[in-house]
Amino acid sequence: MDRGRILILGQTKESTYEIRNLLDHRRYELEIALSRDVGKLILAQRKMNLLILHTEMLGAEMEEFFEFLEEKGIEIPIFLLGEEAKKFRESLPEKQEVSCFEKPYALEQMLTTIDAL
């Protein structure tokens, strides 16, 4: 995915900017959202190629977020990043294409997976 659009959705500036800094040297167009509502607004207005979701965002409200994606017909690959990402994979809808990366992030594997999209 050359010059793809990536939405990074996290709850804190620290975690979100950490992810952004990993990808900043590439030719991706990065959008950052620090809330689900801002993330939904961005996804409703712009075609994104990838959603990077930090595990800190997962919770009861995420079910509504995934319902929003389904209602709007938004199909987007998801990278789930953070502590115990593989454990949280089970809480996401099965039809979502999800790749999990736990700290320390395997940067080369992440970039290879992104480029393959």
Query: Computed from CA positions of residues 23, 28, 31, 36, in that sequence, does the dihedral angle turn out positive or negative?
Result: negative
78-81 and 98-101 as β-strands: parallel, antiparallel, unpaired?
parallel
For 5-116, which CATH superfamily applies? Response regulator (3.40.50.2300)
**Structure confidence by residue, pLDDT tens digits, 29-55:** 999 999 999 999 999 999 999 999 988
Share of the chain above pLDDT 70, in %: 94
Full-model pTM: 0.85
Domains of the chain, by residue range, sit at 5-116
Segment 54-60 mean pLDDT: 81
pLDDT score for 39 = 94
